[in-house]
Amino acid sequence: MQPEELFKLKKVLFVCITLLAVAFLVSTHTKYDPQFSFESLEVNKNITQLKDLTIASVATPLTKNSETKYFYFNKASRDAFKKIKISAESFIVGDLNTGEIIMIKNQNKAYPIASVSKLMTALVTKELGKETDATIVSSRALATYGENGNFKLGEKIKTYDLLYPLLLESSNDAAAVLAEYYGGNAFIQKMNDVAKNLNMSSTAFGDPSGLSIKNQSTVGDLFKLTGYIRQNKQDILNITTKRSYTNKKHTWFSTNQFLHEDGYIGGKSGYTDPAKQTVVSTFSLPLTQSGTRPIAIVLLQSKDRQKDVLTIIKYLKKNIYYGGAKDAKANWIKEKLNIADIAEPDFVTLAFAGDIMLDRGVRYSVNKNFGGDYSDLFKKLKILKNSDIVFANLEGTASDKGRDLGNLYSFRMDPEVIPALRGAGISIVSMANNHIGDWGRVAYIDTIARLKENEIAYTGGGTLLEAENPTIIEKHGIKVGYLGFSDIGPNSMAVTEDAVGLLLANNPNFDTIISNAAKQVDHLVVSFHWGNEYKTKHNARQETLAHRAIDDGAKLVIGHHPHVVQDTEVYSPKSCTQSSCVGFIAYSLGNFIFDQKFSVPTMQGMLLEITLNKNGTMTTKKNTIKLNKVFQPDKVILGKEEEVKFQK
């Protein structure tokens, strides 16, 4: 071959190679190429079958030559899985570094995923956008169901800032604003394209928020998504580990149930009626002799996501280790075998807090001392995480709607209080008190909607059907019901067949409402707003109502309104002859967070913890919460645990 011909051939080869390289770069830029192994999602000979439930006995290692993998400690560890109760219809538990699957159930069955969808919304936003992108909040976006985010019409905001309300507060408005800015229907199509490129073959999206029942996936597909995000867009998961985030106009608060759990490294939860409770949660767990493993737990169709996830974590820590076969006889494994067995408790732990009022002086203090961050009020209250259910009295509405009706003291809290309450661990609030109507029914209705959006239950009000029936929360197979009454009014806000409102203690059906509620649950809690302000001893009216409630079937009676702690009482119904049927009354818990700094008693309150056994016996612990000068619960003085005994 002549030199000229050789030169031409080399030139042609160079052009061809260049074109191929460009084509490759383009394809990798426009198509997702996750460097993540999912081979172990397939059921293989290393999997033990239990009906529709599969547990990996020894998961397939990423590298075939690797000697480290997941093992059970022993046969008892494998059998222990049969004893734990998980309410989710479908779940997957796996290692995000290797792709090894430890536990799976119905991994290929598609269900609605609710707000877990927002992980994909965030991912697509990061792929399409850049930090300087900014958009205008439209009326169309604000028309989306839900108020979280607290945006204003015409507000200009950076798209990357929108990721915080999207992931911390699960703001549907934020999802709508992002999708609108990046092309509307084209954004939804991009979500589906990304799912396809990630090989999420059973996943589809109909909207960016998860409100649509068309947003469906499997736990296997969501595990793939989680693995990809962790390896390529870790900042998305990092956002979900924050307690709050502030820009120049807003402070957004996390509603995450797992934020304070040891080892939590990010995730997203959701809820709609069709989806039930859903979650993608990731943890760094000590499953090796030294160090931790990144574990993803994905649940769909759960009745209690928090309990399910924590049960799985306890199981993993006791029964699973990552290492080599020779580790089975190592001392660190033997030490783990001494951990107590995981069994369904036959009791429920309840916490009761006093009046929460975050307007007026508290609002001023939060803005001045905490930069508007209401979550700072609760940062020293990790004790709330110890209880299965946490109840408090919400002394006023949390809304930006309504009209001040001109009461001597009118309370209307910042709407952002609601996500902060959820993030603090509040499970249920009473809507029956004298300040709940200060800004009229419009603010009252808006507050109820915000509570629902943030998965905080309520009692003592709503529609007539809601008010007169117990709000039921089931934990460990024990149904606990809550009713709420106000004996202080306002009468103008009384619930009727035609208008939402609160349940009054002078209701002519008082006894029937309580006795009917008691028949629907294992244990009934009745809350009262009653008594005389600043009096440390209950009055005759309080005692009459409390005794009637227990005679009608209530187990616990919890009081608010006096703003100071009052006495407690053990009361036995007429037919009761043993400890399992006695009732307990706390006439007033005082203030939980309030701005009454004119006395020591009003700057503290009781945080009552009750362990209530399935058979009706119980123990109480009367803790004291002390507020500092900026109205932040600053000190918890633990009380003595006492058994409630039958008294003649």
Give the residue numbers annotated as catalytic, written as ranges: 115, 118, 170
Give me 630's structure tokens: 């900026």
DSSP β-ladder status, 69-72 and 471-475: unpaired
Please tell me the distance from the alpha carbon of residue 460 to that of residue 505, in angstroms, as a whole number.
Answer: 10
What one-character DSSP code corresponds to residue 231?
Answer: H
The alpha carbon of residue 116 and the mean position of all alpha carbons in its chain are separated, in whole angstroms, by 13
Residue with tokens 């797992």: 258
Please tell me the distance from the alpha carbon of residue 490 to that of residue 409, in angstroms, as a whole number.
Answer: 13
Please tell me the distance from the alpha carbon of residue 195 to that of residue 192, in angstroms, as a whole number.
Answer: 5
Please tell me the distance from the alpha carbon of residue 443 to that of residue 6, in angstroms, as a whole number.
Answer: 83
Partner residues linked to 352 by β-bridges: 391, 608
- Measured in residues, the chain has a length of 648
SS3 75: helix
Question: Which of 433, 411, 397, 396 is CA-nearest to residue 531?
Answer: 433
Please tell me the distance from the alpha carbon of residue 320 to that of residue 316, in angstroms, as a whole number.
Answer: 5
- Whether residue 513 contacts residue 483, with contact meaning beta carbons closer than 8 Å, is answered with yes
Count CB neighbours of 204 within 10 A. Answer: 16
DSSP β-ladder status, 457-459 and 428-430: parallel
Alpha-carbon dihedral sign for residues 327, 230, 418, 312: negative
Residues with Cβ within 8 Å of residue 393, at least 6 apart in sequence: 353, 354, 355, 356, 429, 430, 433, 527, 529, 560, 592
Count CB neighbours of 108 within 10 A. Answer: 14
**What is the four-CA torsion angle of 500, 505, 507, 512, rounded to 10 degrees?**
110
List phi, psi (to 5°) of 51: 55, -120
Partner residues linked to 95 by β-bridges: 295
What is the b/e burial string over 359-379, where b = at least 16 CB atoms within 10 angstroms of the residue's CB? bbebbebbeebbebbbbbbbe
Alpha-carbon dihedral sign for residues 527, 528, 531, 534: positive
What is the b/e burial string over 586-599, where b = at least 16 CB atoms within 10 angstroms of the residue's CB? bbbbbbbbbbbeee
Please tell me the distance from the alpha carbon of residue 175 to that of residue 208, in angstroms, as a whole number.
Answer: 6
Question: Which of 140, 137, 144 is CA-nearest to residue 159?
Answer: 137
DSSP string, 373-417: -GGGGGTT-GGGGGSSEEEEEE-SEE-S-S-----SS--EE-TTH
